[in-house]
C-alpha cells in the first residue's frame, strides 16, 4: 500500500469508527453507562471499551441499580482500547527507493554550524 492510500484508509476508518471498533468491526455498536462512564460493547466479541465520561447526558436519568445491572451483564467482557483496528495503520509503510536511501543522512549541503 502506498503512503497516500495508507493515510486515506486510516483517515476513513477513523471517521467511520470514531468511537472505536471491536474485532468484528460491526458498525451499530450498542452502549451502556456505569455512572458517568460510557461504554461501547459487542456481544459477539465479548469486549467493551470506555468512550468517555459525561459526554452524553443519558446517564443522568439512570441510577445505581441500572449501573449494577449493566456491570452484571457486561462486567466480564474483556476491556479493550477500541482502537486496535488502527494498529496496522499506525506505522506508515516505507517504499524503498534509491533516492530516499541516498537522501537520508547524506546531505552534504547542510552546514552543521547553522
Q: Residues interacting with Zn ion, by CB under 5 A?
A: 22, 24, 42, 44-45
Residue 38 · residue 111 · CB < 8 Å = no
Distance of closest approach, residue 16 Cβ to Zn ion, in angstroms: 15
CB of 42 to Zn ion, least distance (A): 3
Pairing of strands 47-53, 78-79: parallel
Cα distance between residue 97 and residue 95, in whole Å: 6
**Is 78 in contact with 46 (CB distance < 8 Å)?**
yes
**Which CB, 18 or 95, lies closer to Zn ion?**
18
The CA-based angle 22-45-16, given to 5 degrees, is: 20
* Residue number, 6 or 26, with CB nearest to Zn ion: 26
The minimum distance between CB 84 and Zn ion, in angstroms, equals 11
Least distance to Zn ion, CB of residue 5, Å: 26
Which residues, other chains included, contact 52 with Cβ-Cβ below 8 Å and sequence gap of 6+? 37, 38
Q: Which is nearer to Zn ion, 22 or 34 (CB)?
A: 22
With respect to Zn ion, which residue has the nearer C-beta, 11 or 46?
Answer: 46
Amino acid at each position: 500500500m502506498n503512503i497516500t492510500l495508507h493515510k486515506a484508509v486510516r483517515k476513513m476508518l477513523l471517521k467511520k469508527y470514531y468511537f472505536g471498533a471491536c474485532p468484528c468491526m460491526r458498525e451499530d455498536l450498542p452502549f451502556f453507562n456505569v455512572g458517568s462512564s460510557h461504554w461501547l460493547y459487542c456481544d459477539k466479541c465479548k469486549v467493551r471499551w470506555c468512550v468517555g465520561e459525561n459526554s452524553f447526558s443519558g446517564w443522568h436519568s439512570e441510577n445505581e441499580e441500572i449501573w449494577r445491572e449493566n456491570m452484571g451483564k457486561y462486567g466480564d467482557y474483556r476491556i479493550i482500547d477500541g482502537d486496535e483496528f488502527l494498529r496496522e495503520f499506525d506505522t506508515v509503510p516505507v517504499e524503498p527507493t534509491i533516492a530516499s536511501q541516498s537522501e537520508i543522512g547524506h546531505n552534504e549541503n547542510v552546514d552543521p554550524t547553522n
